[in-house]
């Protein structure tokens, strides 16, 4: 089941990046930027307590998907000339259907929040954030 969620996360990131708007306030004219992904919340789900499936963009424009414990933070440098469009993060909680869960995802570019979103519910919660580069 977690492998399927990982693939879903990767596909969601690809869709996010396809829709990135180049006029976004997290504009960068090229070069190396620091990107930090954060996922917070409470997920009592079928994967495990506070375990979430994430998919995100890495340097060069590739994507990574994995199951992580919340809270989760990953920081790395990205070359905006090789990562075309921008970066994206998807976080998923597969809730048990009996307990309310909440998931928050946030992207920071050079230590400035570029996008944040939260959602809550009993079943599947999926949140997506993105940051565009020019």
Comparing 25-39, 45-59, 72-86, the range with the smallest average pLDDT is: 25-39
The number of residues making up the chain comes to 134
Range of lowest pLDDT (27-31, 69-73, 93-97, 113-117): 27-31
Average pLDDT over the chain reads: 81
| pLDDT tens-digit map of 28-51 | 455 899 999 999 999 988 888 889
CA distance linking residue 68 with residue 110, whole number of Å: 23
* Residue 42 lies in domain: 2-132
How big is the CA angle at 50 (ends 113 and 67), to the nearest 5 degrees?
A: 75
Cα distances (Å, whole numbers) of residue 134 to 11, 21, 60: 22, 9, 15
Token digits for 64? 């990574």
User: Residue 101: CB partners within 8 Å, gap ≥ 6?
Assistant: 41, 42, 43, 44, 45, 93, 95, 120, 121, 122, 125
Output 11 or 133, whichever has higher pLDDT.
Answer: 133
Q: Count structural domains, the chain.
A: 1
Nearest to 94 by CA among 55, 129, 48: 48
Please check whether residue 37 is in contact with residue 128, taking contact to mean a CB–CB distance below 8 angstroms: no
Q: Global pTM?
A: 0.77
Using 50, 70 and 90 to split pLDDT, how confident is the model at 73? very high
pLDDT of 112 > 70? The answer is: yes
């Amino acid at each position: 089941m977690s492998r399927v969620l990982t693939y879903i996360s990767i596909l969601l990131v690809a869709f996010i990046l396809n829709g990135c708007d180049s006029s976004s306030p997290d504009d960068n004219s090229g070069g190396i930027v620091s990107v930090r992904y954060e996922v917070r919340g409470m997920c009592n789900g079928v994967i495990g307590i506070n375990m979430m499936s994430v998919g995100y963009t890495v340097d060069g424009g590739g994507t990574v998907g994995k199951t992580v414990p919340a809270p989760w933070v990953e920081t790395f440098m990205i070359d905006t000339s090789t990562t075309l469009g921008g970066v994206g993060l998807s976080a998923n909680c597969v809730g048990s259907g009996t307990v309310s869960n909440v998931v928050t995802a946030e992207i920071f570019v050079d230590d400035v929040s570029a996008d944040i979103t939260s959602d809550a519910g009993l079943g599947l919660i999926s949140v997506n954030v993105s940051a565009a580069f020019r």
